[in-house]
Structure 1
Amino acid sequence: MNLPNRITIARICLIPLMMVFLLVDFGFYPAPLVWYNYELPFNQLIAAFIFIVAASTDGIDGYLARKNNMVTNLGKLLDPLADKLLVAAVLISLVAMGKCDAWIAIVIISREFAVTGLRQIALLDGAVMAAGQSGKIKTTIQIVAIVALLINDFPFVFLHIPFGDIAIWAAALITIYSGVEYFVKNRHLLKEA
């Protein structure tokens, strides 16, 4: 197994660890970080750090695979799967924590699986659907929104701006747009299927 695939598998392995910090209360965490009217539970801070590390490995594994001519079928399968699992896991956790509306999580997760299904249809026809510009923007906005929600809107909380809520709404909107764009650009695949 090559290095890019190992990085992808490491990303998948970080998901349950992140969820444990988000959802399990062991009762022995240090006191929350408190600064004026801002509070961040220690476990949430650790989960945010794990999410940032996991999300950053997405670009690294793909870059290494392409640069070193290490692109494999396993990598083509695992990389998008790891991305979808990471986003789905953290969104479901945020819903459970009351930090994200369920409908937003459903919209984002549904789009991810619908586009993955379309990509599978393309692969059966021997075609590869590259990520479009709107898909890359979608991913960036999703990551920013998730991090903002995980760290309780720091530093925007001091300006009384609900940045995380605004960003997750923006993520939902660009997710819908990019999903529609993928299906419109690749509608010929559905006709052939």
Structure 2
Amino acid sequence: MNLPNRLTMMRIILVPFMVLFMLVHDIPYAYVWALIIFVVASLTDMLDGKIARSRNLITDFGKFLDPIADKILVISAMVCMIPDGYCHPLIVIVVLFREFIVSSLRLIAASQNVVIAAGKSGKLKTMSQMLSITAVLFLLSIEYAVDLSIDVMLIANVLLWITAAIALISCIDYIYHNRDMIKEM
């Protein structure tokens, strides 16, 4: 259990706390705490990869768990936004669809001893999701303290629909770049 893998595990462990703060609005500064936890968890995603590559600590466990930790973090945050209308359920369905398709491609590739690494579109997808969720949580944190004259729900949905579109484009990109493997099935 090296440092990058510990950071990945920490990201997963932080998720229930973020969920608690996002769903229980009676807790003082709930969205502020959710924002802090989400940002810290997102930063561990950046750090674990950089540390693993720079110190040659890349492991099969890390390759397996890191993308799962990202999915748990992002999808949990999006699902928690649904009850208050900050995330449309179709957004989560599109994101889950993409994740199931890409994960299935990776499983098929693994059965053929091929590794499908994260591509640029996948990294863009993850970055857009994390930035959008951070922005929404930031706006909700400010709204808690100050009456904003903006429609946070509209902004949240626009940002998250953009991330859903990027997820869909990323899915198409992964299918296109792995079409030869799909044809062989």
Interval of TM-score (by shorter of Structure 1 and Structure 2): 0.7 to 0.9
Q: What pairs with 1:50-129 in structure 2 (closer than 5 Å)?
A: 50-129=37-116
State the Cα distance separating 1:158 from its structure 2 match.
4.9
| Unaligned stretches of 5+ residues in structure 2 | none
What is the CA distance between 1:191 and its match in structure 2? Answer: 2.3
Q: Whose helix proportion is higher, 1 or 2?
A: 2
Structure 2 equivalent of residue 174 of structure 1: 166
Contact 1:149 1:165 survives alignment (8 Å): no
- Runs of 4+ displaced beyond 6 Å: none
The answer to whether the 8 Å contact 1:148/1:163 transfers is: no
Q: Percent identity?
A: 41
**Alpha carbons of 1:160 and 1:137: their partners in 2 closer, same or farther (altered >3 Å)?**
same
| 1:7-46 to 2 correspondences below 5 Å | 7-25=7-25, 27=26, 29-30=27-28, 42-46=29-33
Which piece of structure 1 moves more, 140-149 or 177-186?
A: 140-149
Two-structure CA RMSD over aligned residues (Å) = 2.0
Give the Å deviation of 1:159: 6.2
Number of corresponding residues: 179
Considering Cα pairs closer than 8 Å and 6+ residues apart, tell me whether 1 or 2 has the greater RCO.
Answer: 2
Which TM-score applies when normalising by structure 2?
0.88
Give ranges in structure 1 of 5+ residues lacking alignment: 31-41
Distance 1:65 1:121 in 2: 25
Query: TM-score under structure 1 normalisation?
Result: 0.84
Q: 1:145·1:168 contact (CA, 8 Å) conserved in 2?
A: yes
The offset of 1:65, in angstroms, is 1.0
1: CA distance between counterparts of 2:150 and 2:19? 29
Distance 1:175 1:160 in 2: 24
Tell me the distance in 1 between the aligned counterparts of 2:118 and 2:150: 35
How many Å apart are 1:112 and its aligned residue? 1.5
Match of 2:125, as an amino acid? Answer: K
